[in-house]
Structure formats: C-alpha cells, structure tokens
C-alpha cells in the first residue's frame, strides 16, 4: 500500500514538473519573439516556479522523518492547486503561441542546449541526422560519377544488359540519386514544421519510412521504365546512347526518391488496369450505373410521396374548416393532374 502511494505521488510530481517545464519554455519563447503576454500570467508562473524550488528544498530537508499526517494532507492539497494553476497557465500560453506546439517549443529549447558541435546542422536531431545522410548521398553521387565504370553508355544498359562490378556501380549511383531526392523532400517538409514550431517528434519515424520508400521508388522508376522511346541518332549503334538518354535514368531516380507516392500511384494504376482486363470492367461499370439510376429513382419516388402526403394533409384540414366544395374540387383536380399526365385521361376517353 505504501509503495502504491509513493508511485501515485511520483506520477503527480512528474506531471507537475512537465507542465512547469513546458510553461517556462513557452514563456521564454513568447518573450523572445515579442509576443504580448499578460504580466499577471508571467507573475503567477514565476511564483509557482519559485514555490517549486522552495518546495524541493523543504522536501529534501524533511526526507529523513515520516512527517505529520496533517502536514502531508496540506502539502497534497497545495500540490493539487499548483497543478490546476499550471494547467490554466499552460492553456493560456498555448493559445498565445498558436499554431506553435508546446511540445515543439520545449523540444527546441532542450535541443538548443544539447546540440553540441553538430548543432549547426539543424535545431533537432532528425534534421541533423537527415542533413548528414543527405551529405553522404551527395558525396556518393559525386564519387560514383567520377568512376570510369559509370558513363553515358553503362548507365543506360540497365540490369539486363550489364553485369558485375559495372552494374553494381551504376545501381549505387542511381541509389545515391534516389536517396538525395528523398532527403531533399524530407528536409523541405520538416523545415516548414520547424519554422512554424509545429514539429512533432512522434512523427519522426514517418520521415525515415518515406526515405526508404524513396530509395525503392527511385530504383523501380529508373530501372523498370524503358527509355527506348526517347529519340536518338539512328546512325549510332544499339549500344550507344544520347545525352538525353544518359540523363534519363538519374533524373527518374531523383524524381522517384523525391515523390515515392507518385510511383505508388503509377503502380497502383497499372494493377487496376490489369485487374479490369481480367474481371471485365465493362460489366462492372454497367452494373454500377444501373445501381446509381435505381437509387436516384427511389430517392425521387420518396420525395414525391412526401409531397403528396403533405398536400393531402392540407386538403384534409380544409375539409374540417368548411371550405367551399368547388375550391376543394379544383385543388383535388390539380393534385391528380400533377400525378398523372393529362394525355392519359384523353386516351381513356
């Protein structure tokens, strides 16, 4: 029982400290950015911060003895009031800093202190690691491009016309181009969130997933799409390549790495086209069109029934009020003529 109470107290203290750290970080950011913060709000935060420091000193001095139960109850109530006030201050500061996120503001403050010698690469760890990876891909792209095994002829031969170390160097060259495009897209997207202070570290894994998807998409797009349709000089041999053909594969690898979603949509469209050939897409389209027409007809029929019910109800009310029978007959004729075309009565007569 005693351990459980100690655990509850620890959880409450951690929440209190977390709120206090975020409030202090938001207050510093707001003041440094020239935002208008109510002076009373800053004074309350300063009082709570000072009270926290004094409370820690008192808790350390009284940790040797069990303490009076009445004093413990008073401390517990004071702690609850402090948490409530901190929550109110936290909400107010978050409204002032919007759209900036309190988590991002605290993260940026912590990262600025612990960035170390690599802090110039970015304000958060994700940006620094991705910047280092982008530099690595750029160096690899330059390094493989100066190799005599990577040239205008070998780059266009592909995986079916080349082999050995030549194929390996060309694939690594394309992989470096795809990685450079993936890092470019990831850094560009993360930079917007960093600038707005809305970067959320819980989405960090999604950047690395998109990076790996970009590598795969760059290789798929550059190696599986034929470039024979690009016009070249017919007087040259089949093994030669134009400058446009030589630049085609690295460009496709770069574009595939930059937008893996586009490659996914291309493959998805190809799969849908193949499935339509197998299943018979015409029958499915006709069935879907018939179903849509039937649904539209049923909806129109329901609306007509509701309108008829409303007219009959109004006519019934007029019967109860003793209206002129001739007027009632004319209104009834109008209702019948709106339901059945006049040509029907003429044909029957």
CA dist 53 → 20, 48, 227 (Å): 11, 9, 69
Burial of 199 (0-12, 13-18, 19+ CB in 10 A): buried
pLDDT the model gives residue 153? 84
Based on the domain organization, do 153 and 200 belong to the same domain?
yes
Based on the domain organization, do 227 and 262 belong to the same domain?
yes
Residue 292 lies in a domain: no
Indicate the residue among 244, 279, 314 that finishes a domain. 279
Residue 106 lies in a domain: no
Based on the domain organization, do 247 and 126 belong to the same domain?
yes
Based on the domain organization, do 242 and 314 belong to the same domain?
no
pLDDT the model gives residue 186? 92
Q: How far apart are CA 180 and CA 141, in angstroms?
A: 8
Based on the domain organization, do 266 and 305 belong to the same domain?
no
CB 180 within 8 A of CB 251: no
Q: How far apart are CA 92 and CA 98, in angstroms?
A: 10
Based on the domain organization, do 150 and 258 belong to the same domain?
yes
Residue 14 lies in a domain: yes
Based on the domain organization, do 249 and 321 belong to the same domain?
no
pLDDT the model gives residue 340? 61
Name 145's Cβ contacts closer than 8 Å, sequence gap at least 6. 173
Based on the domain organization, do 167 and 212 belong to the same domain?
yes
Residue 313 lies in a domain: yes
Residue 110 lies in a domain: no
Residue 15 lies in a domain: yes
pLDDT the model gives residue 277? 74
Based on the domain organization, do 132 and 266 belong to the same domain?
yes
How crowded is residue 277: how many other Cβ atoms within 10 Å of its Cβ? 9
Residue 149 lies in a domain: yes
Rg, C-alpha atoms of the chain: 37
Range of the domain at 250: 118-279
**Sign of the C-alpha dihedral computed for residues 241, 243, 244 and 249 taken in this order:** positive
Residue 280 falls in which region: left (phi positive, over 0), alpha (psi -120 to 50) or beta:
left
Based on the domain organization, do 318 and 273 belong to the same domain?
no
CA dist 38 → 24, 93, 333 (Å): 14, 10, 73
Residue 103 lies in a domain: no
Based on the domain organization, do 94 and 134 belong to the same domain?
no
Q: How far apart are CA 177 and CA 257, in angstroms?
A: 8
Based on the domain organization, do 215 and 324 belong to the same domain?
no
Q: Taking the model in full, what pTM does it have?
A: 0.59
Indicate the residue among 279, 310, 332 that finishes a domain. 279
From first to last of its 349 residues, the chain has per-residue pLDDT tens of 444 444 444 344 477 788 888 888 888 888 888 888 888 888 888 888 776 655 554 444 444 444 544 444 445 555 677 888 888 888 888 888 888 888 888 888 777 777 667 777 778 888 889 999 999 999 999 999 999 998 888 888 878 788 899 999 999 999 999 999 999 999 999 988 888 888 888 888 999 999 999 999 999 888 876 655 444 444 444 444 455 566 788 888 999 899 888 888 888 888 888 777 766 556 666 777 888 888 888 888 888 777 777 777 777 777 767 667 777 777 777 776 766 655 544 544 4
Burial of 333 (0-12, 13-18, 19+ CB in 10 A): exposed
**Total domains in the fold of the chain:** 3
């Amino acid at each position: 029982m005693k351990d459980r109470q100690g655990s509850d107290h620890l959880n409450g203290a951690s929440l209190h400290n977390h709120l206090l750290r975020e409030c202090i970080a938001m207050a510093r950011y707001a003041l440094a950015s020239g935002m208008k913060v109510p002076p009373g709000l800053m004074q309350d935060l300063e009082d709570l911060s000072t009270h926290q420091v004094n409370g820690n000193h008192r808790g350390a001095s009284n940790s040797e003895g069990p303490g009076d139960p009445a004093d413990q109850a008073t401390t517990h109530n004071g702690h609850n009031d402090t948490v409530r006030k901190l929550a109110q201050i936290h909400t107010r500061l978050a409204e002032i800093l919007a759209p900036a996120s309190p988590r991002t503001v605290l993260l940026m403050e912590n990262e600025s202190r612990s960035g170390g010698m690599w802090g110039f690469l970015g304000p958060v760890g994700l940006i620094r690691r991705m910047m280092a990876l982008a530099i690595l891909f750029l160096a690899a792209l330059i390094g493989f491009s100066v190799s005599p095994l990577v040239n205008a002829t070998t780059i266009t031969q592909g995986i079916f016309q080349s082999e050995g170390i030549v194929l390996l160097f060309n694939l690594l060259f394309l992989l470096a181009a795809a990685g450079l495009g993936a890092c470019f897209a990831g850094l560009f997207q993360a930079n917007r969130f960093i600038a707005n202070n809305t970067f959320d570290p819980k989405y960090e894994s999604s950047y690395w997933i998109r990076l790996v998807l970009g590598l795969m998409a760059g290789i798929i797009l550059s190696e599986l799409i034929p470039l024979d349709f690009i016009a070249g000089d017919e007087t040259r041999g089949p093994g030669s390549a134009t400058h446009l053909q030589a630049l085609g594969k690295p460009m496709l690898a770069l574009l595939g790495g930059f937008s893996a979603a586009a490659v996914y949509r291309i493959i998805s469209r190809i799969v849908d086209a193949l499935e339509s050939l197998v299943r018979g897409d015409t029958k499915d389209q006709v069935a879907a069109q018939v179903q849509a027409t039937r649904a539209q007809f049923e909806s129109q029929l329901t609306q007509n029934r509701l309108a008829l019910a409303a007219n009959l109800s109004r006519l019934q009310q007029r019967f109860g009020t003793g209206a002129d029978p001739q007027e009632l007959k004319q209104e009834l004729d109008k209702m019948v003529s709106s339901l059945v075309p006049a040509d029907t009565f003429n044909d029957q007569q």
